[in-house]
């Protein structure tokens, strides 16, 4: 029986729906916790798919820039629309995540490479440690959506990603969806403990959905839809919110 039923695009659509529910609850029904509980499923799914995007992209620079440039545009709009707010959106979080994944993968490649020198391995390890440290410092200096754990969550998912690496067979066998989803689950537990909010534990409900992931993008061509959906749905909800206040 085939249990791999959900494509990457379908998972992203589900995550988008969960995100809208979360933001509707936050803006219009702040006392109804059920909206926030449903919304908790969104971030882990997107975090997992960021890891998958970094895994399969043919152009690493373009993949990073597509997220980072949209993040920069959104932050500029937020700054002027929200009275100079410096709160960093989830797009900033995932921009940092992509860089950390690249650093992690570079470190793994150097460790597994037979031609890499000890110096090259040490340098790649130092770069990774520096990246994680800088991410922690940035989260202390700035309010970044989902904080430090949110930034490193996609990188945690990527720990057992050995695609296009010279990994021995026993290690390559660890590169599988169940283990990557398990890593995500561990990150969610850490996030729930750090946040201290009961409804954050609802994010674990994303785990069974991700275990159904087919590792296929799907037939729908929705690349730019997902890049634009985040800012556009916020604009739409903000417009509705303003109208309700006027009426």
**What is the structure's pLDDT at 229?**
87
> Structure tokens of 54?
């970094």
Q: Tally the residues of the chain.
A: 247
List, in sequence order, the alpha helices (H) in the chain.
Answer: 8-28, 33-39, 42-56, 60-81, 90-112, 118-141, 147-157, 169-172, 177-195, 206-210, 223-246
**What is the structure's pLDDT at 2?**
53
pLDDT at 144 over 70: yes
User: With pLDDT > 70 as the criterion, what percentage of the chain qualifies?
Assistant: 98
Contacts of 109 (CB under 8 A, 6+ apart): 116, 124, 165, 166
pLDDT in tens, 4-57: 689 999 999 999 999 999 999 999 999 999 999 999 999 999 999 999 999 999
| Average pLDDT score over residue span 59-88 | 88
Higher pLDDT, 160 or 80: 160
| Average pLDDT score over residue span 190-213 | 93
The pTM assigned to this predicted structure is 0.93
Q: Residue 145's closest CA among 18, 47, 37?
A: 47
| Average pLDDT score over residue span 154-169 | 95
């Amino acid at each position: 029986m085939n249990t791999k039923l959900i494509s990457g695009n379908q998972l992203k659509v589900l995550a988008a729906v969960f995100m809208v529910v979360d933001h509707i609850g936050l803006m219009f029904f702040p006392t109804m916790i059920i909206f926030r509980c449903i919304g908790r499923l969104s971030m882990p799914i997107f975090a997992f798919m960021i890891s998958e995007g970094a895994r399969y992209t043919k152009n690493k620079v373009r993949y990073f820039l597509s997220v980072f440039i949209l993040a920069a545009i959104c932050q500029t709009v937020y700054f002027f629309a929200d009275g100079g707010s410096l709160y960093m959106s989830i797009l900033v979080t995932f921009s940092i995540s992509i860089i950390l994944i690249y650093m992690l993968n570079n470190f793994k490649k150097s460790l597994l490479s037979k031609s890499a020198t000890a110096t090259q391995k040490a340098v790649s390890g130092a770069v990774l440690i520096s990246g994680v440290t800088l991410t922690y410092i940035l989260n202390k200096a700035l309010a970044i959506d989902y904080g430090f754990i949110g930034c490193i969550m996609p990188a945690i998912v990527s720990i057992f990603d050995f695609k296009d690496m010279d990994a021995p067979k026993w290690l390559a066998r660890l590169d599988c969806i169940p283990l990557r989803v398990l890593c995500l689950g561990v990150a969610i537990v850490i996030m729930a403990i750090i946040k201290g909010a009961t409804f954050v534990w609802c994010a674990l409900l994303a785990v069974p959905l991700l275990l159904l992931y087919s590792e296929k993008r799907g037939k729908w061509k929705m690349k730019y839809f997902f890049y634009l959906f985040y800012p556009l749905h916020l604009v739409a909800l903000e417009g509705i919110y303003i109208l309700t206040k006027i009426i």
